[in-house]
Amino acid sequence: METIYKRRSIRRYIEKEIAKEDLLKLVKAGMQAPSAHNQKPYEFIIVTKRKTLDKLSETGLYCHMLKYAHAAIVIISEANKEKTPYWQADCGAVAENILLEATDMKIGSCWIGEYPNKEKTDKVKEILQIPKDYEVFATISLGYTEQEKEPNNNYYEEKIHIEKF
Ligand SMILES: Cc1cc2nc3c(=O)[nH]c(=O)nc-3n(C[C@H](O)[C@H](O)[C@H](O)COP(=O)(O)O)c2cc1C
């Protein structure tokens, strides 16, 4: 699938808003991911307010791009580790689906790791008023880009074992 190979982390964005229906389309793509025992242990916070994006851009070292982003989707999970022990894998699949849908829609995106950086997620929780018993899994930074990045080649034959190690 061409979109998989086109996807790159985009951290520079142009001044162009993302339509609300496009943001909902991205979340819908996220929800289409597979989920262990079909528990779907995730929820989303869509952020578009400039002030909030600016605050989020100051929560850690590697999220400065939120200062220029036009939206962010924060993936959160109710931390019920017994009922949903695969919540991180589930949220990871959700995040990748969002990135691929964004690529297909020509919207630049970048995965910002949150969990398990408690110092960072505590700040995000405070800004977005997320209840204490939720985990913040990742933030997806979003914006249109002027220049698409070249696809990169991530194929390493030495990582593949056939039949046994
Ligand atoms: C779990 C995870 C956490 C990441 N966290 C960050 C982050 O905090 N800030 C950032 O700029 N990029 C982050 N990235 C993006 C990676 O840096 C990026 O995927 C990698 O450098 C490869 O580049 P590419 O996405 O353009 O192929 C993260 C990616 C993953 C999968």
User: Considering the entire predicted model, what is its pTM?
Assistant: 0.97
pLDDT digit string, tens, across residues 76-126: 999 777 889 999 999 999 999 999 999 999 999 999 999 999 999 999 999
Ligand 1 center from residue 107 Cα (angstroms): 16
Pocket test for ligand 1, best of 9, 75, 148 (most atoms within 8 A of CB): 9
Beta carbons of 8 and 152 less than 8 angstroms apart: yes
CATH number for the segment(s) 2-146: 3.40.109.10
Instruction: Parse the chain into domains and list their residue ranges.
Output: 2-146
pLDDT digit string, tens, across residues 137-154: 999 999 999 788 999 999
The per-residue b/e assignment along 51-65, b for 16 or more CB within 10 angstroms, e otherwise, is eebebbbebbeebeb
Q: What is the pLDDT of residue 152?
A: 93
Ligand 1 center from residue 164 Cα (angstroms): 30
